[in-house]
Amino acid sequence: MSSAESLERLEVNLTPQERFEEYLQSRGQRQTKPRKFLVETIFSQHEHFDADELIDKLPRKGQPNYVSSATVYRSLREFVDAGLLNSFQLDGRTVYELDYGYPQHDHLYCTRCRKLIEFRSEELMSLRDAEAAEHGFRVTGHRLIVHGVCRDCAGSRRKKRKQDLV
């Protein structure tokens, strides 16, 4: 999955690692080296990813900091439950993005190169809140993904095909 355009981080009281440790303590669980390594790895960059892409970036079996696939899948679910990550379905895959320390935002998705572009729109938020108020609805969040073709992909298809000339 292509990396996302950066959003400005929000100020938070705890690091992602501290937030996750707090979550684990509330459930009577302990922090493990693999979980700690995964939090550090995921929060070292701001990009969207699926489990397989994350696994491909991790050390292989026999190398230091190796994390099994089962631990990755289980930990990703825990990170979502802890409020560190958001997950959503895209092209039949579960895609993850950083949640903790980042503002509510939406996405433009290029169906050709699979790039996700993040954006924030105050007008969209105002419209959402006005519609919710009109219906007596309390908003807890939303997800908007606009599908289309990015500038780079649109520019690469400028050459007309014979069937386009008809």
- Residue 6: what pLDDT? 57
- Residue 8: what pLDDT? 79
Distance CA 1, CA 6 (A): 15
Q: Are strands 106-110 and 145-148 parallel, antiparallel or unpaired?
A: parallel
Distance CA 32, CA 29 (A): 9
> pLDDT tens digit string along 65-87?
999 999 999 999 999 999 999 99
- Residue 14: what pLDDT? 94
How do the domains of the chain map onto residue ranges? 1-102, 104-166
Give the whole-number percent of the chain exceeding pLDDT 70: 90
Q: What is the mean pLDDT of residues 19-33?
A: 96
Binding site annotation covers 152? Answer: no
Binding site annotation covers 164? Answer: no
Q: Which CATH number fits domain 104-166: 3.10.20.30, 3.30.1490.190, 3.40.50.720, 3.30.1330.40?
A: 3.30.1490.190
Binding site annotation covers 113? Answer: yes
Specify the CATH architecture of the domain 1-102.
Orthogonal Bundle (1.10)
Residue 55 phi, psi (nearest 5): -60, -40
Burial tier of 85 (Cβ tally within 10 Å: 0-12, 13-18, 19+): buried
- Residue 4: what pLDDT? 47
Give the pair of three-digit tokens for residue 67: 């994390």
Distance CA 59, CA 55 (A): 8
- Residue 9: what pLDDT? 83
> pLDDT tens digit string along 134-143?
999 999 989 9
The pTM for the full model equals 0.83
Please state, rounded to an integer, the average pLDDT across all residues of the chain.
90
> pLDDT tens digit string along 93-117?
999 999 999 998 999 999 999 999 9
> pLDDT tens digit string along 122-135?
999 999 999 999 99
Burial 28-54 (b: 16+ CB within 10 A, else e): eeeeeebbebbbeebbeebbbbbbeeb
> pLDDT tens digit string along 30-55?
999 999 999 999 999 989 999 999 99
Binding site annotation covers 106? Answer: yes
What confidence category does residue 10 fall into, taking pLDDT thresholds of 50, 70 and 90?
confident
- Residue 158: what pLDDT? 56
